[in-house]
């Protein structure tokens, strides 16, 4: 689908809520979930974000009007895979209106736009770029099975010493994997545990 990223962006959904996971857990945030993803995680809980429909194209100016209706000034751009698109104009527009801009990405595409906080959640299905991992403020590795601990450590080696390190269970595997994560973090205290608190709170 062809569109001009200086005027439009494909938005699957956008809403004001509480950030439920990672470093900014508990903060009021406006989520902008962009449509489109080719990473293809088998356990993705938003598979409807993988495809882009014509009706999802949204004027960036119209999106800004919606965001400005709420008092929070933290934006979380997520997906899908948001870095599939040039985010320069979108982020410039939001920054000009006083927003902090966080992004959640697999790291599989180069960084674009003006970003205040980069959360990289690397996936085995499409490896993150080394240059994106090097700029990550937060590394959030999903634990689906035991081999994911080694995958997390491999990605940690490419991050900076200031990067905040999180392990987070895939929701359906929480009962099996959370005890292993607890033991792992106790043995490797550079890591922290991230929980999907929004699911406990029953909010989007």
pLDDT of residue 187: 98
Q: Per residue in 134-163, pLDDT tens? A: 999 999 999 999 999 999 999 999 999 999
pLDDT-derived band at 50 (thresholds 50, 70, 90) equals confident
pTM of the model: 0.94
* Separation between Cα atoms, residue 121 and residue 128, nearest integer Å: 9
- What CATH class is the domain 8-201? alpha beta
pLDDT of residue 157: 98
Domain spans in the chain, listed from the N-terminal domain onward: 8-201
Q: Is 162 exposed, middle or buried (0-12, 13-18, 19+ CB in 10 A)?
A: exposed
- When computed from its CA atoms, the radius of gyration of the chain, rounded to whole angstroms, is 17
For every residue of 59-102, DSSP letters joined together read EHHHHHHHHTTSS--EEEEESS-GGGS--HHHHHHHHHTT-EEE
> Residue 43: pLDDT above 80?
no
pLDDT of residue 51: 86
pLDDT, mean over the chain = 94
């Amino acid at each position: 689908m062809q569109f001009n990223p200086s005027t439009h962006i494909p938005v699957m959904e956008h809403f004001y809520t509480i950030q439920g996971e990672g470093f900014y857990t508990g903060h009021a945030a406006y989520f902008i979930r962009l449509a489109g993803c080719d990473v293809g995680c088998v356990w993705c809980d938003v598979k409807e974000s993988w495809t882009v429909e014509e009706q999802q194209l949204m004027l960036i100016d119209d999106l800004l009007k919606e965001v400005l209706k709420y008092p929070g000034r933290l934006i979380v751009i997520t997906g899908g895979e948001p870095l599939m698109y040039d985010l320069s104009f979108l982020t410039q527009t939001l920054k000009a209106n006083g927003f902090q801009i966080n992004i959640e990405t697999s790291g599989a595409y180069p960084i674009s736009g003006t970003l205040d906080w980069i959360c990289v959640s690397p996936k085995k299905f499409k490896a993150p770029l080394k240059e994106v991992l090097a700029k990550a403020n937060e590394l959030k590795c999903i634990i689906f099975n035991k081999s994911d601990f080694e995958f997390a450590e491999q990605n940690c080696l490419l991050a900076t010493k200031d990067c905040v390190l999180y392990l987070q269970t895939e929701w359906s595997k929480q009962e099996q994997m959370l005890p292993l994560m607890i033991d792992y973090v106790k043995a490797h205290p550079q890591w922290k545990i991230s929980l999907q608190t929004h699911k406990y709170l029953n909010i989007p």
